[in-house]
Amino acid sequence: ATPMSIMAATGRGAQAGVLIRDAEALEGFARVDTLIVDKTGTLTIGKPELVAVVPEGAHDEDEVLRLAASLERGSEHPLAEAIVKGAEARGLELAKAEDFEAATGKGVSGRVEGRAVALGNAKMLSDLGIAAPTDDADARRDQGETVMFVVVDGAVAGLVSVADPVKETSADALKALHELGLRIIMATGDNARTARAIAGRLGIDDIRADVSPEDKATIVAELKREGRTVAMAGDGVNDAPALAAADVGIAMGTGADVAIESAGLTLVKGDLNGIVRARRLSLATMANIR
Ligand code: ADP
Ligand code: MG
């Protein structure tokens, strides 16, 4: 495309809430055939809310939540915020956590009131040598909830479950993107059952779940090796490596700074309609010069 047509497209993009970094991003997006989308914060609102606390055995529901929330005060993860807010809404008094540690893509651990507390997914439990109970957890995941286990002094004390609604615009935007020639893949650090439940509501059939931030970048690299031209859309710190590895990285403007820095396209409003606009704009710009 000519510098003039690129400038014009960049201006129109900005007006529509799509920030285009350079000619490469604009031209590259017309060639993309595969779009990978992160789940949390990209397809979903990204503000999970606590929906259930299920104690194990003789444990007390509020006590399980109180210990979990006391620990999560040290985490900046959206899941942590949901748990802390949920505990505060119940009027629970949180304690100070010591020896706090976050395990990326797994959960958090530390000491609360002298007790060893850990909170996270099945990988977290497996690291602790504990088997994850599945019955309650799977039923909730099948509803699209994200389940985290609470471990106190080496044994599972219960689970906490959060839900993050799908953005109102996601389903229609995905349909439009499909019609604009893109194959859609969902990539998420979340559990496979939860991912399947959310994907099902959106008509996505290609899902990569339980993936680490590095895995997301590896998925991008593998698809490129297979000859695909790949865009990756995400909002989080954990998406930054994949955004950088993609032919075109797409950041939600509402997301982390490092995601935006790694992106060729930034969506100011943070919903997928921005990707639809960007695709139309880049196809139109490229059509004009041929
Ligand atoms: P996503 O790709 O959905 O943003 P992450 O890679 O950040 O996911 O996390 C993957 C999983 O690790 C979460 O679904 C959760 O089960 C667990 N996890 C990560 N951080 C925390 C935390 N602070 N507290 C509890 N669980 C966590
Ligand atoms: Mg995300």
What is the per-residue pLDDT across 256-280, written as a single tens digit (0 to 9) for each? 888 899 999 999 998 999 999 999 9
Q: What is the tally of structural domains in the chain? A: 2
Q: Which of 78, 82, 83, 88 is nearest to 256 (CA)?
A: 78
What ipTM was estimated for this complex? 0.95
If you take atom 17 of ligand 1, which residue's CA is the nearest one? 106
Summarize pLDDT for 129-182 with one digit per residue, the tens: 999 988 899 999 999 999 999 999 999 999 999 999 999 999 999 999 999 999
Rounded Cα distance between 107 and 147, Å, is: 11
From the CA of 152, how far away is ligand 2's center (Å)?
28
86 and 10 in a common domain? no
Asked if 164 is an active-site residue, the reply is: no
Q: Is the domain of 88 the same as that of 152?
A: yes
Question: Do both 204 and 230 map to the same domain?
Answer: yes
73 is in which domain, residue-wise? 49-163
Q: Are residues 22 and 79 in the same domain?
A: no
β 265-267/248-252 pair status: parallel
Q: Quick count: other Cβ atoms within 10 Å of Cβ 227?
A: 7
Q: What is the spatial distance between Cα 232 and Cα 35, in angstroms, rounded to a whole number?
A: 6
Convert the pLDDT of each residue in 61-92 to its tens digit: 999 999 999 999 999 889 999 999 999 999 99
Amino acid letter, residue 238: N
Judge if 38 and 68 occupy the same domain. Answer: no
CATH of the domain at 83: 3.40.1110.10
| 272/219 same-domain check | yes
Would you state the pLDDT for residue 289?
63
User: How much is the pLDDT for 127?
Assistant: 95
Question: Which of 163, 197, 224 is the last residue before a domain boundary?
Answer: 163
Same-domain check for residues 173 and 40: yes
Q: For position 1, what pLDDT does the model report?
A: 76
What letter does residue 238 receive in the DSSP assignment? G
- Residue 8 sits in the same domain as residue 39: yes
What's the CA-to-centroid distance between 40 and ligand 1, angstroms? 10
Atom of ligand 1 nearest to the CA of 121: 16
Residues 41 and 54 placed together within one structural domain of the fold: no
Statement to judge: residues 91 and 21 lie in one domain: no
Query: Of 143, 163, 183, which closes a domain?
Result: 163
| CATH number of the domain that residue 271 is part of | 3.40.50.1000
Last residue of a domain, one of 163, 186, 216: 163
